[in-house]
Amino acid sequence: MFDIKVSLQNREVIFDPTIESNYRQNGIRDIINKIVFDFISLSSQMPRIDSNTGDYLVEIKDQFEVFRTTQMISSNLNEIEDATKGLIGKYDDQAFLWKETLEENFKNFLESGKDIKESIVKKIEI
């Protein structure tokens, strides 16, 4: 289980830790890939019992089930990344709430609104 915090930083929605890989290598994908790599690398730490030299790394890498499982993990991580992007995408029409400042938003409102004075003057002229 992972605890992921969603917050606004510099007017952007940020997941902490990130879902994808990142330069610090502490994203969810990085963590899970490290767990898989560590599990597979255990086979290189175990000396063979059927001979005096070598390890089990070749046998592990040749196992179709290990390859299939790592591909399934990667596919699931891709689905998670797509789902988080889809979740953020649901709120794109409301992004002005966190991307614009109050001053910017009010200025846009004033520029796009109708001028009430014009409609009052037209009513008086009629």
Q: How far apart are CA 14 and CA 88, in angstroms?
A: 10
Residues belonging to the chain: 126
Return mean pLDDT, the chain. 83
- Helix, strand, or coil (residue 119): helix
Q: Is residue 28 part of a domain?
A: yes
62 or 30: which carries more pLDDT confidence? 30
The pLDDT value recorded for residue 122 is 67
Query: Quick one: pLDDT band at residue 34, thresholds 50, 70, 90?
Result: very high
Q: What's the predicted TM-score (pTM) here?
A: 0.65
User: Residue 27 has which token pair?
Assistant: 């994203």
- Please state the domain count of the chain: 1
- Residue 33, C-beta contacts closer than 8 angstroms, at least 6 positions apart: 21
Work out whether strand 5-9 and strand 12-16 pair parallel, antiparallel, or are unpaired.
antiparallel
The pLDDT value recorded for residue 123 is 66
* Residue-number span of the structural domain to which 39 is assigned: 5-92
Contact call for residues 15 and 21 (beta carbons, < 8 A):
no
Angle, alpha carbons 23-28-34 (nearest 5°):
80
Q: Is residue 39 part of a domain?
A: yes
- Helix, strand, or coil (residue 102): helix
Q: Is residue 113 part of a domain?
A: no
- Residue 19, C-beta contacts closer than 8 angstroms, at least 6 positions apart: 4, 27, 28, 29, 80, 81, 84
15 bridge partner residues: 6
126 or 25: which carries more pLDDT confidence? 25
Query: Quick one: pLDDT band at residue 45, thresholds 50, 70, 90?
Result: confident
